[in-house]
Chains A and B, each alone.
Chain A
Amino acid sequence: MNNTSQLERECHTYTQYLIGQSPSPYVVNRYLDFHQKSDAVRASGFDAFDRFLVSLSARRPFWAGMADSYASVFRKDSVVRKKLVVTLALLECAASSFEALDDVQGLSLAATIFQLSWRALRYSLLLGASVLVFTPVRIVTSLSLKPRALPVLER
């Protein structure tokens, strides 16, 4: 898989993960453009584990959630987290996807609190699972693999 295909795949998976929709071609192009212009995902000290998280998270929204849950506590400034924030920023500025981000169901206070609690509980469970999955991987990668660049587009 070439760099462009890999980045397009990331954009699709991350958008599905964040708002449950596919990205518009405009957002995908801008995601590629960001990787072409910005050093943020190039120069930040990523390592083999970072590369693993990005690679795995691009496969399915579920794995994006797992990688992100782990990164939310243990790798806050990781590349996968940065890529997800980039995707979020692009989505909030573009037509149709911004509406998905702003869409509020307008539930009662009790229903909202229940929903928020459920999301928090789900996050806790996912975080626990991600620790079990990723901690051994992190140990192994720190022992055996050397850093390598993540896919970027030529400027």
Chain B
Amino acid sequence: MEPIVVVGSGASGVHFALTALRKGRRVLMLDVGHTARGTVRPSDSLNELKKNLPDPIDYFLGSRYESLVLPGGHGEYYAFPPTKQHVFKKPAGFQHRASGFNPIYSFAAGGLAEAWTGGCYPFTARELNKFPFSYEELAPYYAKVAENIGINGADDDLTSVFGWQGDLMKPLDLDDHASLLLDTYKRHRTVLKEKFGCSMGRARCAALSKELPNRKACSYCGRCLWGCPSGAFYTPSLTLDECRTYPNFQYIPGLYVDHFRMDNSGKAKTVVASSAKGEIQEFAADSLVLAAGTLCSAKIFLESIYRNTAETPELRGVMDNRQILMPFVNLRLLGRKWNPNSYQYHQIAIAVENANEHLHGLVTTLKTALIHPLVQTLPFDLGTAVSVFRNIHGALGMVNINLSDERREENHVKLDVTTTPHRLSIQYRAKPDEPQRLKRAISTYRKILRKLGCFAPSRTVHIRPMGSSVHYAGTLPMQSTRVPLTCSKYGRSHDVENLYFADGSTFPELPAKNITLTLMANATRIAEEAF
């Protein structure tokens, strides 16, 4: 019997594979699989790295200064560090065309979640309303994933918003700023709840507060943004490493899967992939699982349909979370010293649930991010800006606000066959009421922050381009009825009998939150129940 062929080693792919391997199935994983350079000086803190590395600028900015953000640049407050550039490196010849959408792809071992921020937020029963299964069916898989990856969090006001509580590790230590924000919230909890529908509490993060086999607990070294040196922070490459310990697992990196061939009965017969040198390889497949991420899975599927039928269908309903970055200053912390040795991603979360909208805000207090992208945005000369920044650094924070999205016919991906090689074409149009939604969200969070003693200057609020959140979903949604270009509740294609989708392609809706935990839980569910 041929192995299950899995394409892609991201959060979905590795959780599908691990579950199938544990069931005794043979798995062949095909992947481009770009990898990071090795971890340097794992016991050093961030500032020790600056002192001890022979060439710290190479480490922090890159040998070609690729992480330097200059005036007139992309307008983001962060640059991806050189240590994570491999996450976004594309194979030669890979092309796309996009309108109204700024897609980000990953061909790394571990996929896009190699550069995620660790937010683990289950979908609630309400948010799974359009899925063809109930919350109760998914909940056990949230627990399995939590057991695998280690999630920390607390039972607090956000428990009612997040639903599933599960077996969480105790939360990581808060830094002074996050601690002050939570204390202030507790004093104003009733007003914030009544006026804005606001709940605030500890973020749920895939970072270890206690040791697991082969992984250390967080040491608060401050290096999160540059890649956790101890494995305390979860990335899918850790699960890929675990998969590789199974004798029934074969991982072949260095291959870009282009399409699959079908036999006369319409089943996927072989998977066609090419190496960096252009050598074509073909792999027999009894069952094929596409877990290359929503857009790359769409590309493989559409290319295969075109090659086998000469048709170029549109996959409608592509979704992503619109995100707003809102920097703020906590006025009570002006001029205060701060500690760089702390957990750098989200320590607290602010959910807003009211009649208009459900919003999800993740708060980070920005201690060890490079400062030059932010300093240059201050309304002064750089000399003054440096002096001002020094005094507001400990008081700075950023809320990353997520808005929900829904499948709409006008947003689609299709294959553009007019170019060689063929390319993915993506079209996205925001809903007409989006400006009002954004305005309301910005206004609500600014008022909440004001109540928390913080000031969020309106000119620094940044509405990220659609595609920036990388929460892509909805192109081949799960549904109960057998309709072309959809899949079953087990991710099984309604078009190709032995083809499965195990990534965000299958989500029929996209709530306002990080989807990675649900991607992992759903892939685990599919492997457990369909294989």
Contact = CB atoms under 8 A, between A and B. Distances in A.
Interface of A: 17-19, 26, 30, 34, 37-38, 40, 44, 64-65, 68-69, 71-72, 76-78, 81-82, 84-86, 88-90, 92-95, 98-99, 101-109, 111-113, 115-116, 119-120, 122-123, 126-127
A85 B390 contact: no
B202 interface: no
Given A88-B376, A93-B50, 10 more contacts: A18-B386, A64-B383, A68-B382, A85-B382, A90-B57, A98-B47, A102-B393, A115-B391, A122-B384, A126-B381
Interface string B375-398: 110011111101110110110000
B335 A112 contact: yes
A99 B70 CA distance: 22
Given A98-B50, A105-B335, A88 B386 contact: yes
Nearest to B338: A104
Given A72-B381, A88-B375, A93-B56, A112 B72 contact: no
Contact of B51 (A37, A95, A105): A95
Query: Which 9 interchain pairs have the tightest Cβ spacing?
Result: A112-B335, A77-B72, A68-B381, A93-B60, A69-B381, A89-B372, A123-B384, A95-B51, A72-B381
A10 to B, nearest CB: 14
B388 A85 contact: no
Nearest to A105: B335
A95 B335 contact: no
Contacts of A68: 381-383
Contacts of B71: 76-78, 81-82, 85
A59 B514 CA distance: 50
Interface in B411-434: none
B175 to A, nearest CB: 15
A123 B380 contact: yes
Interface in B440-499: none
14 contacts: A17-B382, A18-B383, A72-B380, A72-B382, A88-B376, A95-B50, A101-B371, A102-B340, A102-B390, A105-B335, A106-B336, A106-B337, A116-B334, A116-B388
Nearest to B376: A85
B65 interface: yes
Contact of A104 (B370, B382, B393): B393
Contacts of B56: 93-95
B138 interface: no
B379 A72 contact: yes
Contacts of A106: 335-337
Contact of A92 (B331, B332, B370, B380): B370
Nearest to A112: B335
B262 interface: no
B104 interface: no
Contacts, number: 130
B80 to A, nearest CB: 14
Contact of A112 (B47, B60, B69, B391): B391
Contact of B386 (A101, A112, A113, A122): A101
Nearest to B60: A93
Contacts of A116: 334, 388, 391
B214 to A, nearest CB: 31
A81 B382 contact: yes
B68 A86 contact: yes
Contact of B334 (A19, A72, A85, A113): A113
B64 interface: yes
Contacts of A108: 335
Given A19-B386, A88-B375, A93 B335 contact: no
Interface string B51-82: 10000110111001100111110000000000
Nearest to A16: B383
Nearest to B390: A104
A92 B59 CA distance: 12
Contact of B335 (A65, A104, A127): A104
A104 B394 contact: yes
Contacts of B60: 93
Contacts of A88: 371-372, 375-376, 382, 386
A37 B340 CA distance: 31
Contacts of B69: 85, 89
A40 B61 contact: no
Which residue of B65, B69, B372, B382 has the most chain A CB atoms within 10 A of its CB atom?
B382
A40 to B, nearest CB: 5
A86 B370 CA distance: 12
A104 B336 contact: yes
A37 B391 contact: no
B370 A109 contact: no
Nearest to A93: B60
Nearest to B64: A37
Contacts of B340: 102
Which residue of B64, B370, B383, B393 has the most chain A CB atoms within 10 A of its CB atom?
B383
A89 B405 CA distance: 37
B68 to A, nearest CB: 5
B383 A92 contact: no
Contacts of A103: 390
B68 A101 contact: no
A104 B371 CA distance: 15
Contacts of B61: 89-90, 93
B437 to A, nearest CB: 30
B380 A76 contact: no
Which residue of A103, A105, A113, A116 has the most chain B CB atoms within 10 A of its CB atom?
A116
A9 to B, nearest CB: 18
Given A112-B335, A116-B388, A30 B57 contact: yes
Contacts of B372: 85, 88-89, 92
